[in-house]
Copies of this chain bind each other. A is one copy, B any other.
Amino acid sequence: MDVDQRSLSAEAESEVLKVIAEFAATWNRHDMDAMHDLCTDDAEWINIVGMHWRGKAAVYKGHDALHKTTFADTEMTIEDVKARAIAPGVVCAVAGMTFGAHVDPTGREEVGMETMGTYLLLDTGDSWKIVHFHNTVIDQAARPFDPVNSDSAIG
């Protein structure tokens, strides 16, 4: 793949950031229809507990259940989005996310967490859509032991 084909245009970056901001907005108002309009039909989702949902209908079903229970009163933020081009029409963005207090389905009370999310987006012609998402909780105990970024994590 020619390196030139992998440069991220300002226009593409702007579009991708808009989609991710809209994802946060729709998540926070629990608008499942609008939230999943941002996804391709074949979107896949891997959440912080390792559940893997395949296809928009499955992703919708999973989110709909969690937003009626676990996340019904939770606030989510997305910040520090770092986007890069993977190929023409394909962008991979990594972002820090926060999830406010909630009780998870097993009954565990979470006071809140930071996560690291990967958004893979595709230019469908009409718009950019999320084709894959993967999220992981940032383990605060492990953070100071990061062999690469330990300074910034401790600081």
Question: Given the interface contacts A46-B94, A50-B137, A118-B134, does A147 sit within 8 Å of B86 by beta carbon?
Answer: no
Chain A interface (Cβ within 8 Å of chain B)? 1, 42, 44, 46-54, 58, 61-62, 64-66, 82, 84, 86-90, 92, 94, 104-106, 108, 114-116, 118, 120, 122-125, 131-132, 134-139, 141-143, 145-149
Q: How many copies does the complex hold?
A: 2
With both chains docked as a complex, state the minimum distance between the C-beta of A60 and any C-beta of chain B, in angstroms.
10
Nearest chain B CB to A144's CB is how many angstroms away? Answer: 9
Give the CA-CA distance A146 to B48 in the complex, in Å: 12
A87-B87, A120-B120, A147-B61 as given contacts; A94 in contact with B44, CB under 8 Å: yes
